[in-house]
Amino acid sequence: MNNDKHPADPAQVQHIVDTSLAFWKSKVLLVAVELGVFTLLSDRTATLGELQQSLALHPRGSADYFDSLVALGLLQREGSGEQARYANTPAAAALLDRTSPHYMGGVLEMTNQRVYPFWGSLAEALRTGRPQNETKLSGESWYQALYADRARLSQFLSAMAGYQISNFKILVQTFDFGAYGSFCDVGGATGALAMEVARRHPGTRCISFDLPAVEQIAAERIAAAGLNGQVTVASGDFLKDELPQAGVIAMGNILHNWSVDTRRMLIGKAFRALPPGGAFLAIEHLVDDDRRHNLAAMLMSINMLIETSEGSESTTSEFDRWCREAGFRHTEVKPISGGTSVGIAYKE
Ligand SMILES: C[S@@+](CC[C@H](N)C(=O)[O-])C[C@H]1O[C@@H](n2cnc3c(N)ncnc32)[C@H](O)[C@@H]1O
């Protein structure tokens, strides 16, 4: 046997190396948000020395750290050496500066504080099938504590919206909500999707339905957007109550939190709340039936293993089967972005 010949081509070796160290990149970004780098550079440029001083950083590592952010396309730098000045890129200024109205760092803060350490117990999750979040550490559901603290709840809901907002913006351009007259987003959180639909289709009556603890937060956001007349907030518990009636019913990142039986129950409730000709939309990471292409969906499904006791992502054909069982005539799945799709089920 010739031991000199390497068994894999260099691209495969590099793929393994890159995958094994992928967390380096994510941690550089998450820590930049934690330190407030992009907020510091909100309305100014800064030299390396100024960044070190303002953020209380040791000189060792700082140049590599900020230049990594430059190489990642999140900072820009004019010049080099001590005189070089760092600034936000336009995308970082819009999305990662806490003072920007489009700040999406909430979701990164949550990822850094919670998701990153919990994924450290992935092997245990795989061995036990049990969640690895606060439930494991304190015995108390994180959600119970969250829903009791309005400020944290508001921050969490904003973080969730940060994940989904670009999907919502794409969805309202691709699905004709205006053809159905009314819309209800079930588990609508801050009302982000209902507001996007309302902006795009001013004639559509929109409802954002969520738990009572969320009502005031959503109402404030909707009022601040000047959409009071068009978007209303409805409170209830989708596990116990029937859903508000509307021509289109959506569930964004809802089904994947629950057991298969609960997912089927929720799809059945959506069917009953729709008129003939209505449509049900599930906006989440639907896994391709072959289970080999949508990596983002399978990773999200593993995340549901870590975060929930029974949740996972569904496949396209599971979604279709459960919808037909509920009475829907047919379904289709359209990719939105980043592994998220919309599963659409049409009622006769
Ligand atoms: C993962 S978030 C998804 C938020 C939003 N739909 C999105 O796509 O970003 C789940 C939402 O479901 C709501 N929720 C959880 N349990 C609920 C229940 N039993 N009844 C109504 N809403 C519930 C939560 O308050 C939260 O806003």
pLDDT at 246 over 60: yes
Ligand 1: atom nearest CA of 157 is 27
Of the ranges 41-50, 65-74, 137-146, 208-217, which one carries the lowest mean pLDDT score?
137-146
Q: Please name the residues in contact with 229: beta carbons below 8 A apart, sequence gap of 6 or more.
A: none
Q: Which residue lies with its CA nearest to atom 8 of ligand 1?
A: 252
The ligand 1 site (C-beta within 6 Å) comprises 157, 160-161, 164, 187-189, 210-211, 214, 237-239, 252-254
pLDDT at 294 over 60: yes
Q: Residue range 274-302: average pLDDT?
A: 97
Q: Please name the residues in contact with 79: beta carbons below 8 A apart, sequence gap of 6 or more.
A: 85
Of the ranges 60-74, 133-147, 226-240, 253-267, which one carries the lowest mean pLDDT score?
133-147
Of the ranges 105-109, 253-257, 300-304, 344-348, which one carries the lowest mean pLDDT score?
105-109
The answer to whether residues 153 and 213 touch, using CB atoms and an 8 Å cutoff, is yes
Q: Which residue lies with its CA nearest to atom 19 of ligand 1?
A: 237
Q: Which residue lies with its CA nearest to atom 27 of ligand 1?
A: 189
From 238, 239, 281, 286, mutation site for ligand 1 pocket: most ligand atoms within 8 A of C-beta: 238
pLDDT digits (tens, 9 = 90+) for 306-316: 999 999 999 99
pLDDT at 142 over 70: no
Which residue, 18, 21, 1, 22, is CA-closest to 10?
18
Separation of CA 52 and ligand 1 centre (Å): 40
Question: Could you identify the residue written with the tokens 């289970």?
Answer: 291
What does pTM read for this prediction? 0.93
Q: How distant, in Å, are the alpha carbons of 16, 288, 298 from that of 292? A: 17, 7, 9
The full set of domains in the chain, from first to last, is 10-95 (1.10.10.10), 105-346 (3.40.50.150)
Separation of CA 83 and ligand 1 centre (Å): 49
Separation of CA 11 and ligand 1 centre (Å): 42
pLDDT at 117 over 60: yes
* Alpha carbons 222 and 195: distance in angstroms, whole number: 7
pLDDT digits (tens, 9 = 90+) for 180-193: 999 999 999 999 99
